[in-house]
Structure 1
Amino acid sequence: MVQVISPSIAQMRSASSASRVFSNRPVLSAPRGSCTRIHAQQTATEQVATESKFTNLKPHTAFLFPGQGAQTVGMAKDVVEEVSAAKGLFAQASDILGYDLLKVCIEGPKEKLDSTVISQPAIYVASLAALEKLRQDSGEEVISQADVAAGLSLGEYTALTFAGALKFEDGLKLVKIRGESMQAAADARPSGMVSVIGLDSDKVNELCEAANKEVGAEEGVRIANFLCNGNYAVSGGLPGCEAVEKMAKEFKARMTVRLAVAGAFHTHFMKPAEEKLREALASTEIVEPRIPVVSNVDAKAHSSPEAIRDTLARQLTSPVQWEKSVNLLLHSGLEESYEIGPNKVLAGIFKRIDKKHKITNVQV
């Protein structure tokens, strides 16, 4: 296998791993019968202390990573020809996945690349390949300027890998399980997503409530992606999606777009997938990120590995708080951003929130 982890990130991961060893030392002096309780209290205290590390964000440069839907047939063709490290990433990914990921990215067909089980690993690897392109073209100095990261849904795994919390191969294995379990949950119960354009979040919530009265709670919908004002995606049962499409004009929506996804992501429909992913996360090494990574679940940056595991699992059934995350960064003083990966989806959303913000696209 080709190993392409950045030396600087690998060194920081080693330091983080060492701190975990010391923090997990057993209590040797406790009386018999009280070791478990004292250790649990210490662990809780350590987590609270660790979680306070990223409380007061003062970011300058953010690296942002796209989620599912950013993929296009033909992506990564040029980057693997120009950047040997990017080619190495795809070679390593194919060994792990058991199929030629690069060939699917370049040749498609579109239906195969767009499938949940393939698009998620494809975007993860392609985004990290774009990062290697930036490293080769602009140097390590530009990479080291990033002092905060975030990713939209799937992109959070890419952000955590960039931040050193996950090894490349471990992140890819998690993404593979994530895509497969989400597809299985969608296959088990028909559901969908609809993008509602032209309304604020309060109006979209009202629309969802009206639709749910017609179809009932089990087939109902709710906002699943809080992207930016005028662009929210609702998710739920197919009858609920159809009701939203039918009633949207009454609520003055400009338009609705049925999303080409397998099912109702970021809702209770994905509960079986959350359980499967939680099992995988429990056995995966995660260390403290070297820079803050803002979570989709609560728009906070977590430093505790256990908190990161929990939010990654809950992400599948929780709304994506992207709008809140972007506002947090902007209000904390963020000056510039890089969108790293296929297409310019995040740049478009960012500009809807702050037209003047400087954002550079690094595409594949």
Structure 2
Amino acid sequence: MAASSSLTLPSLSLNNLPSSLSNAHSRTFHLPLPRSRVFMSVSAGSQVSVVNDALFSDYKPSNAFLFPGQGAQAVGMGKEAQNVPAAALLYKKANDILGYDSTVLSQPAIYVTSLAAVELLRARDGGQQIIDSVDVTCGLSLGEYTALAFAGAFSFEDGLKLVKLRGEAMQDASDAAKSGMVSVIGLDSEKVQQLCDAANQEVPEAEKVQIANYLCPGNYAVSGGLKGVEVLESKAKSFKARMTVRLAVAGAFHTRFMEPAVSRLEAALAATEIRTPRIPVISNVDAQPHADPDTIKKILARQVTSPVQWETTVKTLLNKGLKKSYELGPGKVIAGIIKRVDKGADIENISA
């Protein structure tokens, strides 16, 4: 990067899009990065930015945007958004980048539809004011990429390419070893861990299971080898689980089974321009916001093999004083989770 007195963020930033995008394909939007977020040093005649990763550590949330993950998809999603030019343009951009209809595969489809929901909200009376009021964002698994795009950490286009590769890499990892996921309903996390331990005593190392998604009290997803999942399902009733639900996913997401996907993600992330988000984006890996682009890249690569700390994220947001949250995208999974954590939580669905 050539030395200059300020930094600008190139390419498309969804948060600065005007309400009308009829000619957006021929324009580039620049978003200045506040000086307070970047500490500059000069080395060998070039400018190197060093970002304090703890920049957002004392964040105080009031309004949050929450983005869904895989499993929220539904037939017909995005239909309403097609009536809004800015949202329709996102689908066109996505189809041009992917080379196929972006509604075909679930991860790109959810990513695009969730950001289309932002444009749907923007087009409504008072929608821009709501968007401007959002001071924290996060997403469930895949939804973390959507949240980072919304926060300006990378462009819509770059995020879509990452999501496409992520889905392909996770599918290939799933094909390499038979595995699966199951939701355990009605137990606390300690009991679910005991259930996993009991199942793991009866299967070989390659088939073992672990908690992959800490969603909310009474709902935890377990991933592992198919034999381990089957044994866990057979033991669930004896541990007083209300039920188990096998999830319609390709494999054991957020476990070591996804290790083959990590190197491909690392390579793609290394080649992607990632910037300091303009608002805190809470990580699935450690339930913390990160400001340093290199740290964000490392976190995203680790995310596919790390348990999703969604319950901790939600509890932390509420304990820090979150007043209102919005679920943007298909389904109402996140709203249901939020209500399980706090029945009085104020959350609104903005579907597309």
TM-score when normalising by structure 1? 0.87
For residues 59-100 of structure 1, give each alpha carbon's deviation from its aligned partner in whole angstroms, at most 9, with x where no partner exists.
10010000000000111112102x111100000000000012
User: Is contact 2:15–2:150 with CA below 8 Å preserved after alignment?
Assistant: no
Structure 2 match to 1:331 = 319
Structure 1 match to 2:128 = 140
Distance 1:16 1:280, change over 3 A: farther
User: Is contact 2:12–2:155 with CA below 8 Å preserved after alignment?
Assistant: no
User: Is contact 2:195–2:232 with CA below 8 Å preserved after alignment?
Assistant: yes
User: Is contact 1:13–1:165 with CA below 8 Å preserved after alignment?
Assistant: no
Structure 2 match to 1:167 = 155
User: Which residue identity does 1:341 align to in structure 2?
Assistant: G
Distance 1:313 1:142, change over 3 A: same
User: Is contact 2:14–2:150 with CA below 8 Å preserved after alignment?
Assistant: no
User: Is contact 1:16–1:288 with CA below 8 Å preserved after alignment?
Assistant: no
User: Is contact 2:13–2:150 with CA below 8 Å preserved after alignment?
Assistant: no
Aligned residue pair count = 332
Unaligned regions of 5+ residues in structure 1, if any?
Answer: 29-38, 106-112
Match for 1:15 among 13, 19, 33?
33
Distance 1:63 1:19, change over 3 A: closer
Structure 2 match to 1:125 = 112
For residues 126-178 of structure 1, give each alpha carbon's deviation from its aligned partner in whole angstroms, at most 9, with x where no partner exists.
00000000001133211010000000000000000000001000000000000
Distance 1:189 1:166, change over 3 A: same
Q: Secondary structure at the match of 1:52?
A: coil
Offset, 1:294? 0.3
Match for 1:59 among 58, 61, 66?
61
Structure 1 match to 2:226 = 238
Structure 2 match to 1:26 = 43
Q: Percent identity among equivalent residues? A: 58
For residues 101-130 of structure 1, give each alpha carbon's deviation from its aligned partner in whole angstroms, at most 9, with x where no partner exists.
2xxx4xxxxxxx5xxxx1000000000000
User: Which residue identity does 1:191 align to in structure 2?
Assistant: S
Unaligned regions of 5+ residues in structure 2, if any?
Answer: 1-10, 19-27
TM-score when normalising by structure 2? 0.89
CA distance in 2, matches of 1:320, 1:295: 9
Offset, 1:276? 0.7
CA distance in 1, matches of 2:134, 2:297: 23
How does 1:114-263 map onto structure 2 within 5 Å?
Answer: 118-137=105-124, 138-263=126-251
User: Is contact 2:111–2:142 with CA below 8 Å preserved after alignment?
Assistant: yes
Q: Which protein is richer in strand relative to its size? A: 2
User: Is contact 2:254–2:308 with CA below 8 Å preserved after alignment?
Assistant: yes
Distance 1:25 1:127, change over 3 A: same
For residues 13-70 of structure 1, give each alpha carbon's deviation from its aligned partner in whole angstroms, at most 9, with x where no partner exists.
44369987x7363156xxxxxxxxxx9xx98xx45xx112111121100100000000
For residues 271-307 of structure 1, give each alpha carbon's deviation from its aligned partner in whole angstroms, at most 9, with x where no partner exists.
0111111110011000000000000000000000011
User: Which residue identity does 2:100 align to in structure 1?
Assistant: Y
Distance 1:11 1:303, change over 3 A: farther
Distance 1:331 1:11, change over 3 A: farther
Structure 2 match to 1:108 = none
Q: Secondary structure at the match of 2:304?
A: helix
CA distance in 2, matches of 1:4, 1:318: 28
How does 1:266-281 map onto structure 2 within 5 Å?
Answer: 266-281=254-269
